[in-house]
Amino acid sequence: MDPIKDLLHLYSDAVCRQDADQWTDTWCNSGIWDLGHGDPVSGRESLRSFWIASMSRFEKVIHTYSNSISELDSDSGSGRAYVTEWLKPKEGDPIVLHGFYDDNYVFENNNWLFSKRTLNRIYMGKPDLSS
């Protein structure tokens, strides 16, 4: 059993089902989400509000991880997870995102949680990779 792979699966499942409660529960109270454009979002309630607003633009999002690595000590750790997202906006053409998250984790309230996620985009555009 790998607690970080479980955390990644919970996060991905929440995105695919657009479950704000489950998604928020993957973050520590002081979590920071850096999407690589603009200011990072910090704090669990701000993360939740931002995520709900972002997800409201999409009819469907399929979020998957292809591989990941992590190193943990007793109460913190770091890792990298390669992500692909297929996004169907409510308006406009479908897009795909390929990238990776550089992650920091913390063991808080008997769970491994994200303390920081930094998205590094490799590609974002048309699903046929022509953008």
Beta-ladder partners of 84 = 64, 98
Give residue 41's pLDDT. 98
How far apart CA 86 and CA 61 sit, in angstroms, is 6
The H-assigned helical ranges of the chain are: 3-17, 20-24, 44-55
Mean pLDDT rounded to a whole number for the chain:
97
Instruction: Name the residue range of residue 64's domain.
Output: 3-125
Find the CATH number of the domain harbouring 118.
3.10.450.50
Let me know if residue 114 belongs to a domain: yes
Let me know if residue 76 belongs to a domain: yes
Tens-digit pLDDT profile for residues 84-115: 999 999 999 999 999 999 999 999 989 999 99
How far apart CA 82 and CA 102 sit, in angstroms, is 9
Give residue 49's pLDDT. 98
38 pLDDT tier (thresholds 50, 70, 90)? confident
Let me know if residue 89 belongs to a domain: yes
How far apart CA 94 and CA 92 sit, in angstroms, is 7
Let me know if residue 130 belongs to a domain: no
What is the pTM (predicted TM-score) of this model?
Answer: 0.95
Let me know if residue 31 belongs to a domain: yes
How many structural domains are present in the chain?
1
The share of the chain scoring above pLDDT 90, in percent, equals: 96
Let me know if residue 90 belongs to a domain: yes
